[in-house]
Amino acid sequence: MFSEGDDTLDLNTVADLATYPDTLSQDALGGDDTVTLSGTAKLGVAFHGGEGNDYITGSSGDDFLYGDEDNDRILGGGGDDALDGGEGDDRLAGGSGNDLLLGGVGTDQLDGGADDDTINGNDGHDIVFGGSGNDQINTGVGDDIVDGGSGNDTLIDDSGANTLRGGEGNDTIQTRGGDDLIYGGAGSDTIRLGGGNDIVVLETGIGFDTIQGFSLGSTKFGVTSTSDLSFTGSRSGTNVFLNGDQIAFVAGVQSSVLSNNVGNVFVTSGF
């Protein structure tokens, strides 16, 4: 069905797809292939792009699509798909359905699309967008830019200096190392800091964030102004207000730690 070259396949042209099992398996060979797997609403496809810069569009079923080597573009389409970019600088878009996106090695662009997706950036400096739905995003190794999009998302970073945006919804953001820039976005977010010199940007009018793992000397908060900050303490931490609007609750930290170190903890630039 494929040759060592630049191939095009549209499963709508394959006769009698109803005779195939629930999942059709097909591999391309070398070359830059353009593949559209759209023959039926029920059939899922397992497809390997092989070598070359491939452009693969999935069916409306539950597909397993592998870019393999080189710089591939993979569109999942409908269904609950698994997309694996493999090596190279790939572009993956899940479309609708609860999809799994694996960036692999390289500088990838990953877009979960609609519904509840799981996205792993793996190696490389990746750009990741969760889209709508309650997504789980793992950055992997490298300096990544991540936006959870709308929904209650979970963002987990690894090593590297990452930019993490929760987007709309009540998100959970976990850092594990590296110097990260973190925006909770609209909603009541939980931000767990796990090492590194992090900046957490706090905004008014969009809900307040709960900060865990604050470390004096390494954690900083980005604000629009430091002149109108105020603090109220409790047994479990400190509430932070800007112009009377609560912007954060810092767990496990006494109010005096923040009020006595405003110039060291709160910054108005660098984010």
- 201 vs 225, 248, 252, 258, CA distance in Å? 12, 10, 19, 15
pTM: 0.89
Instruction: Answer whether residue 26 shows pLDDT above 90.
Output: no
Q: Mean per-residue pLDDT for 100-117?
A: 96
Confidence of residue 203 (pLDDT cuts 50, 70, 90): very high
- 98 vs 82, 184, 221, CA distance in Å? 9, 23, 34
Which parts of the chain fold into alpha helices (H)? 255-259, 262-265
Q: Mean per-residue pLDDT for 231-255?
A: 97
pLDDT of residue 21: 44
**Residue 245: how many other CB atoms lie within 10 Å:** 13
Confidence of residue 18 (pLDDT cuts 50, 70, 90): very low
164-176 pLDDT, tens per residue? Answer: 999 999 999 999 8
pLDDT of residue 20: 44
Instruction: Answer whether residue 10 shows pLDDT above 90.
Output: no
CA distance 161 to 222: 16
Q: Mean per-residue pLDDT for 220-236?
A: 96
pLDDT of residue 42: 53
User: In the chain, pLDDT over 90 holds for what percent of residues?
Assistant: 69
Give the range among 61-70, 137-146, 226-235 with minimum mean pLDDT. 61-70
Confidence of residue 102 (pLDDT cuts 50, 70, 90): very high
Rg, the chain, Cα only: 22
pLDDT of residue 49: 80
CA distance 159 to 88: 20
